[in-house]
Amino acid sequence: MLVALLVASLAVTRVSGASVTPPVVVLDPGHDLRANLRTEPIGPGSSTRKIKDGGGAHGVVSGLSEAQLNLAVALRTRTLLERAGVRVVMTRATTSGTSIGNIARAQIANRAGAALFLRIHADGSTDPSARGSHTLYPALRSGWTDDIYTQSKRAAGVVQREVVRSLGFPDRGLQERTDFTGFNWADVPAILVELGYMTNPREDRLLATPTYQRRAARGLCRGTLLFLRRAPSACG
């Protein structure tokens, strides 16, 4: 009897479960232990090629590599999103190899059927006073990004707002990019968040702390849930 009931309830769960399949978010912590100076086409069929991965920024005060910071924030974001019922796929979960490049990252998101391809980075500049958070999204280009443009732009807006609110760094706004390989190869909504500047002593010092990494993750989680039209309070 108990078994029969259990089987019956499982069957019901499975049937109704089809309509509540959790959304998938692909988190892409930028860079890796080593740069990748090979080149790849910036979009499908393009003769313009760019380096796969120049290596990323470095913390002027903390000494952290951008790859380490991006991963620390991504792992915290994964925990929050999973707690909120979102399935998370990571493009990398360690900082230990040569960067796979941006086509490969986009293909992970495409294969996962991601509701959002969320790329996590921090910035660098030759000007140490440059600071603030900004979010990039794909510019409209027929055949490459026309299928993801509107949703990417909407995602960029909500995630930028929540990250700024959570970190409290200056709001550098949104920027469209025609030249980002990882955007041009994406078939799912894609954005890239630059949390702050690792070349700015203040922002680097703060981003290296667990408190600010937690804040960054909370902003990314809240923005993602808002984009998915879910309650951001689930991020804690």
Q: Which residues bind Zn ion (CB under 5 A)?
A: 30, 56, 121
Burial 206-226 (b: 16+ CB within 10 A, else e): bbbeeebbbbbbbbbbbbbbb
Output the smallest distance, CB 101 to Zn ion, in A: 13
Output the smallest distance, CB 224 to Zn ion, in A: 19
Alpha-carbon dihedral angle through residues 146, 89, 77, 176, given to the nearest 10 degrees: -20
Q: Which is nearer to Zn ion, 136 or 164 (CB)?
A: 136
Residue 173 CA to its chain's centroid (Å): 16
Element (H, E) at 100: none
Q: Which is nearer to Zn ion, 28 or 187 (CB)?
A: 28
Q: Which is nearer to Zn ion, 56 or 223 (CB)?
A: 56
Output the smallest distance, CB 163 to Zn ion, in A: 15
Alpha-carbon dihedral angle through residues 15, 16, 19, 22, given to the nearest 10 degrees: -100
Q: Which is nearer to Zn ion, 102 or 166 (CB)?
A: 102
Output the smallest distance, CB 63 to Zn ion, in A: 17
Helix pair angle (210-227, 149-167), 10° resolution: 150
Output the smallest distance, CB 123 to Zn ion, in A: 7
Cα–Cα distance between 20 and 14 in angstroms, integer?
Answer: 10
Q: Which is nearer to Zn ion, 122 or 228 (CB)?
A: 122
Element (H, E) at 175: strand 171-177
Output the smallest distance, CB 56 to Zn ion, in A: 4
Q: Which of 80, 22, 16 lies closest to 228 in space, CA to CA?
A: 22
Q: Which is nearer to Zn ion, 30 or 43 (CB)?
A: 30
Residue nearest Zn ion, CB atom distance: 121
